[in-house]
Amino acid sequence: DGGITQSPKYLFRKEGQNVTLSCEQNLNHDAMYWYRQDPGQGLRLIYYSQIVNDFQKGDIAEGYSVSREKKESFPLTVTSAQKNPTAFYLCASSISGQLVHEQYFGPGTRLTVT
């Protein structure tokens, strides 16, 4: 059963703690993305990776970090430097190298920081 998995579905943390969100895909996609979704706003790109061991900052990368050591995995760390980390986080992947491609999304992780 192919797809993208994100874990956990809900995550609670205390302010000042770093937290890592998991994203795994078995679609054999080269490109992976992390988005943040807040109520009433469109998706905002945090980081994206077009290939293993390479990634680029999106529009709101401050306070976040990523790694891409394996093709299947693209974990996101929300650091204590992120001023407003409570949000719904979505991971996506797509075929790379094509001119146009749709993105496939995981189910999301809702992070609450208090």
Partner 1 sequence: AQSVAQPEDQVNVAEGNPLTVKCTYSVSGNPYLFWYVQYPNRGLQFLLKYITGDNLVKGSYGFEAEFNKSQTSFHLKKPSALVSDSALYFCAVREEGSNYQLIWGAGTKLIIKP
Please, which residue, 37 or 77, has the CB nearer to partner 1? 37
Q: Which of 19, 36, 46, 48 binds partner 1 (CB under 8 A)?
A: 48
Q: Which of 45, 52, 60, 61 binds partner 1 (CB under 8 A)?
A: 45
Footprint (CB under 8 A) of partner 1, residues 65-94: 88, 90, 92, 94
Q: Which of 1, 15, 16, 42 binds partner 1 (CB under 8 A)?
A: 42
Contact status: 58 vs partner 1 (CB under 8 A): yes
> How far is it, in rounded angstroms, from Cα 54 to Cα 29?
14
Which span sits near partner 1 by CB under 8 A: 11-19, 39-47, 63-71, 74-82? 39-47
DSSP secondary structure of the chain: ---EEEE-SEEEE-TT--EEEEEEE-S--SEEEEEEE-TTS--EEEEEEEETTEEEE-TT-TTEEE--SBTTB--EEE-TT-S---EEEEEEEE-SSSSS---EE---EEEEE-
> CB of 72 within 8 A of CB of 57?
no
Q: Which residues bind partner 1 (CB under 8 A)?
A: 4, 6, 31, 33, 40-45, 48, 50, 58, 88, 90, 92, 94, 96, 99-100, 102-108, 110
